[in-house]
Amino acid sequence: MTPAMPPVLDPDLDGTMDRAARHLLAGHLVAFPTETVYGLGADAENPAAVARIYAAKQRPAGHPLIVHLAPDADISYWTPRLSAQARALVDAFWPGPLTLIVERAAHIPDDVSGGQPTIGLRCPSHPVAQRLLSRFAGFRPGGQGGVAAPSANRFGHVSPTRAEHVRAEFPGLSPAELLILEGGPSTVGIESTILDVSGDDGSPPVLLRPGHIGPDQIAAVLGRLPASAHADSPQVSGTLKAHYAPRTPLILVSTDQLPAVLARHARSSPPAAAMVFAGPANRLPSIDGLDYIHCDPDPENYARNLYDRLRRADAGGYSLLILEQPPQDAIWQAVNDRLGRAAAAFDTDR
Ligand code: TXA
Ligand code: MG
């Protein structure tokens, strides 16, 4: 018997949003599109529903989740105190790909934040996410409700940027357990920037995960750069050394080293694939047993397509993915962060 796959629903069909919001209300999972990546959502205030996220992802307990809020949500329901700098960041970047770590209100169950006194809040800009979040909150007492959602992938794997990626991650879940909302390809393509602003206005915010909103944009609002995270900061699973990894072994190679490494992997069986920049300075020889995948030289386009490229490369059955390293510039910080973690999942001594 083939397992009953989770259905992908058209959010514009009559009744879909109601069905999805009621599914959340009943404690089940709904995967939904955001501008960064697709999220695996559950009612943030229902510990049994939150436990279903951990079970589906096979994610270790204690890794806190981000709570997603509708644009008109009352932030003071979730946190007793928003510093002036946190307020300025909300005004500047919400809705958008920025997660703020703030003090957690006492009535919010601590399951959602892995027992920590803080909570991650984010207001996504994707219209399908916003419709779901508004509908769900409207069903809740007092009109306040949030959807806890990590990226909708199994723990450690590449985040999904399309509905079909989510389906491929959870083929074993039935329609009673998981509904997936179609929202097209995510436009940002990598996970949100995470800033810890749980301290007072005297302390600088701490950048826990780089993303599309970079340190310079944050400095333009706050008048100072965020501090970087210490190794012992709260568990951010995306900051584990090995994360965001495809199944195929992956190595990162500098442009200088590329010709020699490619030559070494010629005639591999199954073949290797090289993800390289397509610039004229980079005319690489055609090599037997090696496929080229060309990447966009613009960091935003590169980020948008990265996870889909890695998933397609996985499906290609290659023995090895050889990735040309992007420049070590600030505009590539978030992409380089994800690539470094993907490569760290494998033996890099190749
Ligand atoms: O773009 C995104 O942020 C996506 C979409 C779905 O919104 N979500 C996402 O969630 O990437 P996830 O769970 O894969 O990564 C969220 C990270 C985790 O590594 C978690 O540890 C961290 O946020 N986080 C959440 N709450 C936190 C808290 N209270 N303190 C420190 N880190 C926290
Ligand atoms: Mg994730």
Ligand 1 centre to CA of 279 (Å) is 35
Look-up: residue for tokens 């505009």? 331
Ligand 1 site-directed mutation target among 57, 147, 191, most atoms within 8 Å of CB? 191
**Whole-structure pTM value:** 0.94
Ligand 1 centre to CA of 118 (Å) is 12
Ligand at minimal distance from the CA of 240 is 1
Query: Token pair of 98, please?
Result: 């920025």
Please give the average per-residue pLDDT across 132-152, as a whole number.
97
Please give the average per-residue pLDDT across 264-277, as a whole number.
91
Query: What confidence tier does 286 reach under pLDDT thresholds 50, 70, 90?
Result: confident
Check: CB of residue 289 under 8 Å from CB of residue 272.
yes
pLDDT recorded at residue 76:
98
Residue 340: CB atoms within 10 Å: 15
- Render pLDDT for 70-101 as a digit per residue (tens, 0 to 9): 999 999 999 999 999 999 999 999 999 999 99
pLDDT recorded at residue 309:
94
In this structure, of 17-31, 173-187, 286-300, the range with the lowest mean pLDDT score is 286-300
- Render pLDDT for 162-199 as a digit per residue (tens, 0 to 9): 999 999 999 999 999 999 999 999 999 999 999 999 99
% of the chain at pLDDT higher than 90: 81
Ligand 1 centre to CA of 292 (Å) is 33
Backbone angles phi, psi at 341, to 5 degrees: -70, -35
Judged on CB neighbours under 10 Å (0-12, 13-18, 19+), 184 is exposed
Atom of ligand 1 nearest to the CA of 97: 1
**Pocket of ligand 1 contains residue 187 by CB under 6 Å:** no
Check: CB of residue 137 under 8 Å from CB of residue 144.
yes
Cα separation of 230 and 262, whole Å? 36
Ligand 2 centre to CA of 214 (Å) is 19
pLDDT recorded at residue 349:
45
pLDDT recorded at residue 348:
46
pLDDT recorded at residue 273:
94
Q: Looking at the chain, how many residues does it have?
A: 350
Check: CB of residue 325 under 8 Å from CB of residue 339.
yes
pLDDT recorded at residue 347:
52
pLDDT recorded at residue 236:
53
pLDDT recorded at residue 59:
86
Please give the average per-residue pLDDT across 150-171, as a whole number.
95
Flag whether pLDDT at 224 surpasses 80: yes
Check: CB of residue 11 under 8 Å from CB of residue 131.
yes
Largest CA distance in the chain: 64
**DSSP-assigned letters across all residues of 139-172:** HSGGG---EE--BSS-TTBPPP-SHHHHHHH-TT
Please give the average per-residue pLDDT across 317-343, as a whole number.
95
Reference 326, options 246, 242, 254, 250; nearest CA is: 254
Q: What is the mean pLDDT of the chain?
A: 92
**Pocket of ligand 1 contains residue 16 by CB under 6 Å:** no
% of the chain at pLDDT higher than 70: 93
- Render pLDDT for 106-137 as a digit per residue (tens, 0 to 9): 999 999 999 999 999 999 999 999 999 999 99
Query: What confidence tier does 242 reach under pLDDT thresholds 50, 70, 90?
Result: low
pLDDT recorded at residue 322:
95
